[in-house]
Copies of this chain bind each other. A is one copy, B any other.
Amino acid sequence: MSARAAEGAPPNPVTPRGEIVPTVPPAEKAADAVNVTALLERGRTLATPVLRAAVERLAPPMDTVAAYHFGWIDAAGNQAAGDGGKAVRPALAVMSAEAAGADPEVGVPGAVAVELVHNFSLLHDDLMDGDEQRRHRDTVWKVHGPAQAILVGDALFALANEVLLELGTVEAGRATRRLTTASRALIDGQAQDISYEHRERVTVDECLEMEGNKTGALLACACSIGAVLGGADDRTADALERYGYHLGLAFQAVDDLLGIWGDPESTGKQTWSDLRQRKKSLPVVAALAAGGPASEKLGAILAADAKTADLRPADFEDFSEEEFASRAALIEEAGGRTWTADEARRQHAIAVRALDEVRMPTRVREQFVALADFVVVRTR
């Protein structure tokens, strides 16, 4: 744990609907010219048709269940607008190809493979965690049952490898290997996440390791996979992965802030979502590690929870809004909110520095910087 958290920085004013990490590092002003919305839209536009074609290969009823998960149809089977999320990963995979001097299209199979692995993990994690809602909709296991959630998750995972390997190139083999490493980390991270739920204390380092596995590894892969498909060497791919890994940690720190102080209308989650789910997220573990009266009071409350309550989120449903608000205030008072916002900025800075290790067109570098800026100032 860094010295900053131990210092117990003064609490932020409570601004539950304000920006979470408002300060973009001033050294990167050049990136202001990049239109991040257009960048995300380009990734989505290039990847979605290929993703849909891949999903259509699944045997019924898995194709329908997957289409529901991706938001392409509703529970009744009717066409839907389709909120596929922020699409940060496809955008990165396409930019990654350009970083290696290849056309953006070269990154598309990588973008699709990464999206498939990401969604495989969402399907399984939602079931394991008992999460009933995602992106404002009932989760797959709620609508189609646990067996379909398992099965379609498996199918998407297999499809991810298939989409890459059917390219039949040496580069595709290298890309699949990196995707496999990321997938293993993702699964390790979920294993850690589950085991931490049953523990009273988790250190900040353990939490960062878990978040690096759950979020950093696949974002890292998104950042290297296009370059690998475009023929980049391992040194370049590794540097791009370092950018992506730390971007992932910044992304997750912001997610952890949004999980407590985010606006439910933006996030699509319940108020105090992570507190309801008893998540040992960064603000919580940083607050517990900080010491001082608020930290100790929080520790006593969570220890009492662990003794008196069962370990399922449902047991927290009886808690009032005021109870969660008072816990959130304690976390903030102990410095957990400030520490996490600082951590997001710190990881953002490490990510951007990793870009210096790669020779890439200036325009592409600016795009990577702009995307990193976007990730830390987002509100959903």
In the bound complex, residues from chain B placing their C-beta under 8 Å from that of A154 are 120, 124, 153-154, 157, 187
Is B155 a contact partner of A184 (Cβ separation < 8 A)? yes
Closest chain B residue to A65, Cβ basis: B191
Contact with B along A328-367 (1 / 0, CB 8 A): 0000000000000000000000000000000000000000
Among A162-170, A238-246, A259-267, A302-310, the stretch in contact with B: A162-170
Q: Are B150 and A150 in contact (CB under 8 A)?
A: yes
Per-residue CB proximity of A146-176 to B under 8 Å, as 1/0? 1100110111011101100110101011001
Contact of A172 among B60, B124, B173, B188 (CB under 8 A): B173
Chain A contact residues, majority secondary structure: helix
CB-based contact A191/B62 at 8 Å: yes
Which residues of B lie under 8 Å from residue A158 when comparing CB positions? 157, 180, 183-184, 187
Interface string of A52-63 (1 = CB under 8 A from B): 000000111110
Judge whether A127 and B150 touch: CB under 8 Å. Answer: yes
Partner of A151, one of B59, B128, B161, B162: B128
Beta-carbon contact of B147 and A194 below 8 Å? yes
Q: With both chains docked as a complex, state the minimum distance between the C-beta of A59 and any C-beta of chain B, in angstroms.
A: 4
**Nearest CB of chain B from residue A369's CB, rounded to whole Å:** 32
A195 in the interface, Cβ–Cβ < 8 Å?
Answer: yes
List, in ascending order, chain B residues with CB within 8 A of A180's CB: 158, 161-162, 165
A151 touching B61, Cβ below 8 Å: no
> What is the bound-complex CA distance between A185 and B218, given in angstroms?
26
A191 to B152, CA, bound (A): 9
